[in-house]
Amino acid sequence: MPSPLELAGVVTGSMVLDQLYCELLVDRRLRGGGYRRLSPGEARRLARALARLLEAPPGRRLAGLTVVGEAAGVYWAVSPDLAVTRGDRVAGLVRARIRRSLRVYESDYGLLQLAALVLDNQGLLDDDAVLLVIVGESREALARGIEETLAGPRIRPLIGRGWRASTRVYDRGEAEALAGRLSGYWLGARPPEPRPSPSRCSRCPLAGECPYSAAGHSGGAGGSAYI
């Protein structure tokens, strides 16, 4: 049987988010043809787009980007919503989401950690890079949050009307540990691990057919929908 990585070719951000939710979910979707396969040629074009972005005249600015490259033996293509550059390096990666709850999930940071690690491996990350998650209850609130959070000379956590921004300093050791854990599945070193919990399974599209589903159970493990 082909390994997950042989099926995926390049592991994209939507696969990573599903994996952080539950590996059984990403495995079923992958084997059911549920993801658009990114060809190596497309991935190379995305990587060149990033290189062009960083070759632009120095100055602090924002830009959408897809981070493409290798970490822990896997080729990743992950798209943070924004990048903050300083000179020819990325100084901050931003995930910006509209959520009425204003919740920040570990999976938000997981995605940014992977993107940062890929950039770090290519020598494109600032030494004290910051990972930033901004959530807004509406498009307008999110836009205000992005503007206010990134307006000053330093990226910092803030709370405003209808939005919230939280930050972490990039830690290479943490990012490597995460990439190593995720890559074990992609490389076929271990089977996908189900992560049943009442809250997670009740929102999972596979709940009706999954033998591990805890949907409908009360109490027990869980509470957070993400890692």
Q: By CB under 6 A, name the binding residues for ligand SF4.
A: 22, 24-25, 194-196, 200-201, 204, 206-207, 210, 212-213
- Closer residue to ligand SF4 in complex, CB, 25/141: 25
- Closer residue to ligand SF4 in complex, CB, 33/59: 33
Q: Can you spell out the DSSP letters for 166-205?
A: EEEE--HHHHHHHHHHHHHHHTTSSPPPP---HHHHHT-T
What is the distance between the alpha carbons of residues 77 and 11, in angstroms, rounded to a whole number? Answer: 6
Place of tokens 């990350």: 125
- Closer residue to ligand SF4 in complex, CB, 92/194: 194
Min separation Cβ 23 and ligand SF4, Å = 8
- Closer residue to ligand SF4 in complex, CB, 164/195: 195
Min separation Cβ 181 and ligand SF4, Å = 17
Q: Which helix (H) or strand (E) holds 98?
A: strand 89-98
For 150, the 3-state DSSP assignment is coil
Min separation Cβ 197 and ligand SF4, Å = 7
Under 8 Å between Cβ of 99 and 137: yes
Min separation Cβ 182 and ligand SF4, Å = 16
- Which of these, 34, 19, 74, 31, lies nearest to 194 by C-alpha position? 19
Q: Which two tokens stand for residue 76?
A: 């990743």
Min separation Cβ 185 and ligand SF4, Å = 13
Place of tokens 């000179």: 87
- Closer residue to ligand SF4 in complex, CB, 174/193: 193
What is the distance between the alpha carbons of residues 164 and 196, in angstroms, rounded to a whole number? Answer: 29
